[in-house]
Amino acid sequence: MSEPSLNASTSRVEKTGPHSPTEGALRAVDAAANRSREGVRVVEDFARFVLDDRHLVDCCKQLRHDLTTALVALPLADRLALRETQADVGTELTSEAERRRTTTADVLAANCTRLQEGLRSLEEFGKLLDSSFAAAMKGLRYRAYTLQRAVQITHTSRLRLATVQLYVLVDGCRCENAFTRLVGELLDAEVDAIQLRDKSLDDRQLLARARRLCELTHRRNSPEQQPADSRTLCLVNDRPDIARLARADGVHLGQDDLTVKDARTLLGPEAVIGVSTHSIEQARQAVLDGANYIGVGPTFPSRTKQFDDFPGLDFLRSVAAEISLPALAIGGITLENLPEVLATGVPGVAVGSAITGATRPGELAARMREALRRDL
C-alpha cells in the first residue's frame, strides 16, 4: 500500500487516521515553515538595521515571498488543524548556546543556520507530500546558502575595509628604482591601498614588480612601523596567480577576468577580492558572488583606461542607495571633482594617473587623503 499523499484535485491531505505518516509529515512541515520564515526574517532585519543594505533586504524578501508562495501547495488550514504547540515534546529542548548571543554576527549566523535547517526539513518531509514542493524547497535552500555568504562577507568586509578610502593604481614604471620611489611616496602619504596594474609587462617583470610592491607595503605595515588600522593593502590587477606568488593581500578583477570563485580558489578565504562594475546589475551580482569590494564606474573620462560608456555620478548614487559592500568610485577621479563624487554617498575612490602622473605624487595623494578623511 502506498503512503497517503496530497489529493491533486483538492490539494487536501487524505485522512488516514491519527498519527498517520502524512499527519506527522504535515506537522513537521508546519514547524519547519515557521522556523524558516522566522530565520529569514531575522537575516532580513540584520541586512536592514545592521548593514542598511537595500539589495540584501530585497534578496531576503524575495526568498521569504517565494517560500510563502510554495507553501500554498500545503494548505494552511490542514497545517493549523494539526498544529499542537502545547503538547510538542520539542518546545522545552534548548541549549545554553541557544539562550545567549554575544554579537550581531552571532545572531546572523544562528538564524542563517535556522533558515537552512528549516528548508532542509521542508524538502525532506515535502517529498512525502508533494514532489514539486520538495524541489522548490531545495532551490530555496541553495539560495539561502548564497544569501548567507553575501550577508556575511558584506559584514566582514565593511569591518576590514572601513578605512580604505584612497586606493591608488600604479603601473610598473620605467624601471624598478622608479617604481620603488613611487610606491615609497605613496606609503609615506599613507594611502589605504595600492594596486599594481600594468598590461605592458611580461609575466616575469609583472611578478617582480608585484613582489617589490608587497615587500615595501609589508615592511611598512609591520607593527613597529604602523598600527593595525593604518595598514596599506597591496593588490594585483587581473592576475590571481601573480597575486598569490607575490603574497599580495588580494586581486582586482574586471568583468572579463576570472570569476570571484576561481580567484578565491587560488588565493584562499582571507584574500581581498574586488570587482569592477559598470551597472547596478553587475554591482548586485558582485555582492552575491562574494566580492569584498566593488569598483564603481567609470565616473569620468580617464587617461588610464578607455570606455565607450560612462555610467557617471548617477551610477554611484544608485550603488550608495542600495549596496553597503565597500565601494570605490573609479574613472577620472581628481582632487577637483572629488567633492562631486563624495556627494553621491560612495565613500572611497580609486585613482590612477591623476596621482601617479603628478609632479609630486605623494604630496597630491596626501592632499586627497586629507580631503577624504574630512568627509568621514
The model's pLDDT over 69-78, given as tens digits with 9 standing for 90+, comes to: 999 998 877 7
**For residue range 130-178, what is the model confidence (pLDDT) as tens digits?**
999 999 999 999 999 999 999 999 999 999 999 999 999 999 999 999 9
The reply to whether 12 falls in a domain is no
Three-state SS sequence of the chain: CCCCCECCCCCCECCCCCCCHHHHHHHHHHHHHHHHHHHHHHHHHHHHHHCCCHHHHHHHHHHHHHHHHHHCCCCHHHHHHHCCCCCCCCCCCCCHHHHCCCCHHHHHHHHHHHHHHHHHHHHHHHCCCCHHHHHHHHHHHHHHHHHHHHHHHHHHHHHHCCCCCEEEEECCCCCHHHHHHHHHHHHHCCCCEEEECCCCCCHHHHHHHHHHHHHHHHHHCCCCCCCHHHCCEEEEECCHHHHHHHCCCEEEECCCCCCHHHHHHHHCCCCEEEEEECCHHHHHHHHHHCCCEEEECCCCCCCCCCCCCCCHHHHHHHHHHHCCCCEEEECCCCCCCHHHHHCCCCCEEEECHHHHCCCCHHHHHHHHHHHHHHHC
The reply to whether 7 falls in a domain is no
Q: 144 with 193, same domain?
A: no
Count of structural domains, the chain = 2
Q: 242 with 300, same domain?
A: yes
Q: 248 with 348, same domain?
A: yes
The reply to whether 15 falls in a domain is no
pLDDT at 2: 44
Q: 173 with 149, same domain?
A: no
Q: 36 with 56, same domain?
A: yes
Give me the CATH number covering residue 351.
3.20.20.70
Q: 174 with 106, same domain?
A: no
What band does 234 get if pLDDT is binned at 50, 70 and 90?
A: very high
Write down which residue in 131, 158, 185 finishes a domain: 158
Range of the domain at 139: 21-158
Q: 165 with 151, same domain?
A: no
Q: 205 with 351, same domain?
A: yes
Query: What average pLDDT does range 285-297 have in this prediction?
Result: 98
**For residue range 295-312, what is the model confidence (pLDDT) as tens digits?**
999 999 866 566 667 789
Write down which residue in 102, 125, 158 finishes a domain: 158
Give me the CATH number covering residue 111.
1.20.1260
Q: 356 with 237, same domain?
A: yes
Q: 226 with 198, same domain?
A: yes
Q: 210 with 348, same domain?
A: yes
Write down which residue in 130, 158, 186 finishes a domain: 158
Q: Which residues of 303-339 are buried (b: 16+ CB within 10 A; e: fewer)?
A: ebbeeeebbbbebbebbbebbbbbbbbbbbbbeebbe
pLDDT at 282: 98
**For residue range 316-362, what is the model confidence (pLDDT) as tens digits?**
999 999 999 999 999 999 999 999 999 999 999 999 999 999 999 99
Q: 152 with 176, same domain?
A: no
The reply to whether 185 falls in a domain is yes
pLDDT at 173: 96
The reply to whether 9 falls in a domain is no
**For residue range 20-66, what is the model confidence (pLDDT) as tens digits?**
668 888 988 999 999 999 999 999 999 999 999 999 999 999 999 99
